[in-house]
């Protein structure tokens, strides 16, 4: 790169330029690895939040179903009771 060419012009040894290039490459690789880990962590947080939202929605739906079931049993229970009263009055 231009930066390395400038270093050579400034009388740095080729070995020093290579060493600096390797250090730069290592730093860049570490930064990319950290960035990837952060992206993965963010995706995991988003996934967890989505699961919590879905769990909340499922709990709400289950509660509605239970309420509907209770209302049905109440209605049917009343019908059964009236039927028993009717049968008893006939007998």
77 belongs to a structural domain? no
Report pLDDT for 29.
96
In a domain, 42, yes or no: yes
**CB-hemisphere CA count at 13 Å for 25?**
7
- In this predicted structure, what is the pLDDT of residue 84? 62
pLDDT (mean) for 23-31: 95
Residue 78 has pLDDT above 70, yes or no: no
**Residue 79 domain-assigned?**
no
Indicate the number of domains in the chain: 1
Assess if residue 52 is contained within a domain: yes
Residue 19: domain span: 2-64
Tell whether 14 is covered by a domain: yes
Q: Determine, yes or no, domain membership for 39.
A: yes
Residues 16-30, mean pLDDT to the nearest whole number: 90
Condensed to tens digits (0 to 9), the pLDDT of residues 30-74 reads 999 999 999 999 999 999 988 888 887 777 777 666 667 667 767
CA torsion sign, 42 to 45 to 51 to 53? negative
pTM over 0.75, yes/no: no
Q: At what angle do helices 2-9 and 14-90 cross, to 10 degrees?
A: 150
């Amino acid at each position: 790169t231009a930066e390395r060419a400038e270093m050579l012009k400034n009388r740095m040894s080729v070995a020093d330029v290579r060493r600096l290039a390797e250090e730069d490459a290592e730093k860049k690789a570490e930064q990319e690895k950290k960035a990837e880990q952060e992206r993965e962590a963010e995706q995991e947080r988003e996934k967890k939040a989505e699961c919590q939202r879905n769990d909340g929605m499922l709990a709400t739906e289950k509660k509605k179903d239970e309420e509907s079931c209770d209302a049905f049993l109440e209605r049917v229970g009343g019908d059964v009771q009236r039927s028993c009263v009717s049968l008893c009055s006939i007998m």
